[in-house]
Amino acid sequence: MLEIGSGTGQHAVFFARELPHLEWLPSDRAEWLPGLRARIAQQGSSNLASPVELDVTMAHWPVAGVDAVFSANTLHIMGWNEVEAFFAGVGRLLAANGDTTSSPRTLAVYGPFRYRGAYTSASNGDFDVFLRARDPASGIRDFEVVNELAADQGLALRADHAMPANNQLLVWCSA
């Protein structure tokens, strides 16, 4: 499992510990790696790899051999060009590592989304205003547009789970 945008490592440490049957590979941009490495050194488990530097806009991602990708609280922080690069990179990575005889390749994304242009809560609307004031290229993404980006990479929506704090967990799998 490749985690994109591991940040402080809280998800990596938790999921690796709770899902010992998975090999967890955290990643993030260079500026986040020192803190991420420190947390993994202190709290990591044997199935939690050393983090790799990955910026979604890289032409060639420095990872291979993953069956799944997870990302939490990233798409609304990224600029739109990075969101597009994220899906293109995930598509390349999962296609390169997949074959038709094995289980489907999976992408799971956690965070806030809009549906048909509407926020799922007033607080998400306020959060979106805050995000766009900070960086006009960021903001809560429309589910329908994000789903199209995934579909363009050969991924089909398998689940849309409502989560606490007005977030969603979207799960796509290869066809």
pLDDT band at residue 100 under the 50/70/90 scheme: very low
Q: What is the mean pLDDT of residues 101-130?
A: 93
pTM for the predicted model, two decimal places: 0.94
**Could you read off the pLDDT of 33-55 as tens digits, one per residue?**
999 999 999 999 999 999 999 99
pLDDT band at residue 104 under the 50/70/90 scheme: confident
Q: Do residues 141 and 83 touch, judged by C-beta distance below 8 A?
A: yes
Burial class of residue 5 in the structure, from the number of CB atoms within 10 Å of its CB (0-12 exposed, 13-18 middle, 19+ buried) = buried
Residue among 16, 128, 141 at smallest CA distance from 70: 16
Percent share of the chain, pLDDT over 90: 93
Domains for the chain: give ranges and CATH numbers: 2-174 (3.40.50.150)
pLDDT band at residue 97 under the 50/70/90 scheme: low
